[in-house]
Amino acid sequence: MTIPIIAALLTYVLMLAAMYWHRFRRFHMTVMMSIIAFDVAMPFYLVATRDWKTRLLIEGDILSFGVWMHFGLIITLYVLYVIQVQTGLKMWRSSRKGLDAEELATTHREHRAQGMGILLARALVIATGAILADPADML
Protein backbone atom coordinates (compact mmCIF):
# COMPACT_ATOMS: atom_id res chain seq x y z
CA MET A 1 0.00 0.00 0.00
CA THR A 2 1.36 3.42 -0.94
CA ILE A 3 1.72 6.37 1.47
CA PRO A 4 -1.07 8.48 -0.16
CA ILE A 5 -3.49 5.52 0.20
CA ILE A 6 -2.54 5.02 3.85
CA ALA A 7 -2.96 8.79 4.46
CA ALA A 8 -6.37 8.73 2.73
CA LEU A 9 -7.49 5.77 4.87
CA LEU A 10 -6.44 7.62 8.04
CA THR A 11 -8.41 10.71 6.97
CA TYR A 12 -11.37 8.40 6.32
CA VAL A 13 -11.29 7.23 9.94
CA LEU A 14 -11.00 10.87 11.02
CA MET A 15 -14.01 11.71 8.84
CA LEU A 16 -16.05 8.97 10.53
CA ALA A 17 -15.09 10.42 13.93
CA ALA A 18 -16.01 13.97 12.85
CA MET A 19 -19.33 12.68 11.54
CA TYR A 20 -20.06 10.88 14.80
CA TRP A 21 -19.19 13.95 16.88
CA HIS A 22 -21.07 16.41 14.68
CA ARG A 23 -22.45 18.16 17.74
CA PHE A 24 -18.97 19.50 18.47
CA ARG A 25 -19.46 21.93 15.62
CA ARG A 26 -16.02 23.50 15.64
CA PHE A 27 -14.31 20.07 15.61
CA HIS A 28 -16.73 18.77 12.96
CA MET A 29 -16.31 21.76 10.63
CA THR A 30 -12.53 22.04 11.03
CA VAL A 31 -11.97 18.34 10.32
CA MET A 32 -14.35 18.27 7.34
CA MET A 33 -12.84 21.44 5.82
CA SER A 34 -9.32 19.99 6.26
CA ILE A 35 -10.30 16.69 4.63
CA ILE A 36 -11.89 18.52 1.69
CA ALA A 37 -8.66 20.54 1.31
CA PHE A 38 -6.70 17.24 1.48
CA ASP A 39 -8.88 15.74 -1.28
CA VAL A 40 -8.51 18.82 -3.49
CA ALA A 41 -4.72 18.87 -2.98
CA MET A 42 -4.23 15.14 -3.67
CA PRO A 43 -4.48 15.29 -7.50
CA PHE A 44 -1.93 18.14 -7.58
CA TYR A 45 0.44 16.12 -5.38
CA LEU A 46 0.06 13.03 -7.56
CA VAL A 47 0.58 14.92 -10.81
CA ALA A 48 3.72 16.52 -9.33
CA THR A 49 5.23 13.26 -8.09
CA ARG A 50 4.23 10.69 -10.72
CA ASP A 51 5.25 10.16 -14.32
CA TRP A 52 1.75 10.64 -15.73
CA LYS A 53 2.88 11.09 -19.32
CA THR A 54 4.38 7.60 -19.39
CA ARG A 55 1.57 5.97 -17.44
CA LEU A 56 -1.41 7.57 -19.18
CA LEU A 57 -0.21 8.35 -22.69
CA ILE A 58 2.71 6.08 -23.53
CA GLU A 59 1.42 3.01 -21.69
CA GLY A 60 -2.14 3.94 -22.74
CA ASP A 61 -3.79 3.78 -19.31
CA ILE A 62 -5.94 6.80 -20.24
CA LEU A 63 -8.21 4.44 -22.17
CA SER A 64 -8.72 2.09 -19.24
CA PHE A 65 -12.03 1.66 -17.47
CA GLY A 66 -10.39 1.95 -14.04
CA VAL A 67 -8.96 5.41 -14.69
CA TRP A 68 -12.30 6.79 -15.91
CA MET A 69 -14.23 5.21 -13.06
CA HIS A 70 -11.79 6.78 -10.57
CA PHE A 71 -12.06 10.15 -12.32
CA GLY A 72 -15.89 10.04 -12.38
CA LEU A 73 -16.04 9.21 -8.69
CA ILE A 74 -13.71 12.11 -7.85
CA ILE A 75 -15.93 14.57 -9.75
CA THR A 76 -18.99 13.14 -7.95
CA LEU A 77 -17.22 13.60 -4.60
CA TYR A 78 -16.32 17.23 -5.37
CA VAL A 79 -19.92 18.02 -6.38
CA LEU A 80 -21.19 16.44 -3.15
CA TYR A 81 -18.66 18.51 -1.18
CA VAL A 82 -19.99 21.76 -2.68
CA ILE A 83 -23.56 20.88 -1.69
CA GLN A 84 -22.45 19.63 1.73
CA VAL A 85 -20.59 22.87 2.53
CA GLN A 86 -23.69 24.86 1.51
CA THR A 87 -26.06 22.91 3.77
CA GLY A 88 -23.45 22.85 6.56
CA LEU A 89 -23.04 26.64 6.46
CA LYS A 90 -26.80 27.05 6.35
CA MET A 91 -27.14 25.10 9.62
CA TRP A 92 -24.20 26.97 11.14
CA ARG A 93 -25.74 30.35 10.34
CA SER A 94 -29.19 29.25 11.42
CA SER A 95 -28.60 30.31 15.02
CA ARG A 96 -27.98 33.87 13.85
CA LYS A 97 -30.36 33.99 10.92
CA GLY A 98 -33.24 32.25 12.67
CA LEU A 99 -34.26 29.57 10.18
CA ASP A 100 -37.67 28.19 11.03
CA ALA A 101 -37.62 24.80 12.75
CA GLU A 102 -39.01 22.89 9.78
CA GLU A 103 -36.47 24.31 7.33
CA LEU A 104 -33.66 23.55 9.78
CA ALA A 105 -34.86 19.95 10.17
CA THR A 106 -34.97 19.56 6.36
CA THR A 107 -31.45 20.95 6.07
CA HIS A 108 -30.23 18.51 8.74
CA ARG A 109 -31.81 15.62 6.83
CA GLU A 110 -30.25 16.73 3.53
CA HIS A 111 -26.84 17.19 5.15
CA ARG A 112 -27.03 13.76 6.77
CA ALA A 113 -28.12 11.99 3.57
CA GLN A 114 -25.41 13.73 1.53
CA GLY A 115 -22.95 12.76 4.26
CA MET A 116 -23.76 9.08 3.61
CA GLY A 117 -23.26 9.68 -0.12
CA ILE A 118 -19.89 11.31 0.59
CA LEU A 119 -18.77 8.35 2.72
CA LEU A 120 -19.70 5.95 -0.08
CA ALA A 121 -18.17 8.02 -2.90
CA ARG A 122 -14.98 8.64 -0.88
CA ALA A 123 -14.60 4.94 -0.03
CA LEU A 124 -14.88 4.10 -3.74
CA VAL A 125 -12.42 6.86 -4.70
CA ILE A 126 -9.87 5.42 -2.25
CA ALA A 127 -10.56 1.82 -3.36
CA THR A 128 -10.21 2.58 -7.09
CA GLY A 129 -7.12 4.71 -6.30
CA ALA A 130 -5.59 1.76 -4.44
CA ILE A 131 -6.24 -0.50 -7.45
CA LEU A 132 -4.61 2.00 -9.82
CA ALA A 133 -1.65 2.84 -7.55
CA ASP A 134 1.74 1.68 -8.73
CA PRO A 135 3.57 0.05 -5.76
CA ALA A 136 6.83 1.39 -7.20
CA ASP A 137 5.67 4.93 -6.29
CA MET A 138 5.55 4.52 -2.53
CA LEU A 139 5.61 8.22 -1.58
Which spans of this chain sit near ligand HEM (rule: CB under 6 A)?
15, 19, 22-23, 25, 28-29, 32-33, 36, 84-85, 88-89, 91-92, 108, 111-112, 115, 118-119
At 137, the amino acid letter reads: D
Kindly state the smallest distance separating residue 84's Cβ from ligand HEM, in Å.
5
Kindly state the smallest distance separating residue 71's Cβ from ligand HEM, in Å.
20
* Distance from C-alpha of 112 to C-alpha of 106, rounded to nearest angstrom: 10
Kindly state the smallest distance separating residue 68's Cβ from ligand HEM, in Å.
25
Spatial contact of 125 and 70, defined as CB atoms under 8 Å apart: yes
Measured from each CB, the residue nearest to ligand HEM is 88
Kindly state the smallest distance separating residue 113's Cβ from ligand HEM, in Å.
9
> Which residues 6+ apart lie within 8 Å of 76 measured at CB?
121
Closer CB to ligand HEM, 68 or 92, in the complex = 92
Closer CB to ligand HEM, 56 or 85, in the complex = 85
The Cα angle at residue 93 between residues 87 and 97, in degrees rounded to 5: 120
Alpha helix (H) ranges present in the chain? 3-20, 25-49, 52, 65-97, 101-132
Closer CB to ligand HEM, 51 or 93, in the complex = 93
CB atoms within 10 A of CB 10: 10
Closer CB to ligand HEM, 118 or 126, in the complex = 118
